[in-house]
Amino acid sequence: MKPSISYRGFLLFENQVNTHISVSYFALYLKWLLNPFIMKQLRVFFLIGISVLLLHSCYSVQFKVSNGQAEPCDTEREDWLSGYCVRELDTVVKVGTITKENPINIKDCESGALHTVEYRNTFGGILLYLVTFGRKRQVKIKYVCIKESN
């Protein structure tokens, strides 16, 4: 297929070119919009747009105590938790109509104390919360315990 004319930066191909030059500019625009190639391009833009939106609704917040020693580990992480024993909790908690959940018990800190918590919010989590009217809540956290003292 030989490229023929270009329209707003997109190449249009010969068998797609509008030969009725006399039709209105709007019709031309509509036709351009509906042609499969442009549709594909728009889909890409749409997907990028949605992804940007999703990314923006996905964030994390980190907390750490300043007067405690985090539990160290020999890990290969490169992020801000490098060198620490990082535990992860990824679950969905359910809330009943007349009951409310108690705090999630963290049992694996031998020192009995938390040093760092990273809470992550995702688009999926928000969606789940919305469609279940708040009855299901996604919990995604990373945490580091305080090092056991001796």
Partner 1 sequence: MATTTITQRTWWDTLHKNGRFPLKWFLSTKLEKKEYLPNAIDRYNDAAKEIQRLLKQALDSGEGFRAIGSKWSMSSIAHQKDRMHFNSYMNIKMAISANEVHANSPYKAENLFFLQCGNQIKEISLYLQEKGKSLKTTGASNGQTIAGCISTGVHGSALDVGSVQDYVVGLNLIIGPNAEDILYLERESKPVLNNLIPKKLRAKIIRNDALFNAALVGLGSFGFIHGVIIEAEDAFLLKRYVRKIPKETALKLSDTLDFKNSDFKIAGEVDANGKPLRPYHYKVFINQYSKEKDYVVEAIYKKPFDPKYKEKYGDPIPFMKEFVYRDLIYLLIRISEKFPKAIPKFVKALSNTILPKEEKPIVGRLSEIFWDAGYQGKAFACSFGVDHKNASKALEVLTKLTRDEGPIPGIFAMRFVKKSEATLAFTKFPITCMIEIDGIQWEKSKKLISLEEYGKRMIEVLQQHNIPFTIHWGKNAAWNFPKLAKHMFPENSEKWTKARSAILSKEMAEVFNNDFLRKLGLDTYHEDDFQHLIASL
Q: Least distance from C-beta 149 to partner 1, angstroms?
A: 7
Give backbone dihedrals phi and psi of 97, rounded to 5 degrees, phi first: -75, -35
Sign of the dihedral defined by the CA atoms of residues 7, 13, 16, 17, in that order: positive
Tokens of 146: 């305080």
The smaller minimum CB distance to partner 1, of residues 60 and 69, is found at 69
Which single residue is written with the structure tokens 């990373």? Answer: 142
**Rounded to the nearest whole angstrom, what is the least distance from the CB of residue 107 to partner 1 in the complex?**
15
CB of 48 to partner 1, least distance (A): 19
Report whether 110 contacts 117 (CB < 8 A): no
- Under the rule (CB under 8 A), what is the footprint of partner 1? 66-69, 72, 74, 76-83, 147-150
* CB-nearer residue toward partner 1: 65 or 127: 65
Whole-number minimum distance, CB 72 to partner 1, in Å?
A: 5
- Of 12 and 85, which has the nearer Cβ to partner 1? 85
Place of tokens 């409310």: 100
State residue 26 phi and psi, 5-degree precision.
Answer: -65, -45
Of 68 and 141, the one with the shorter C-beta distance to partner 1 is 68
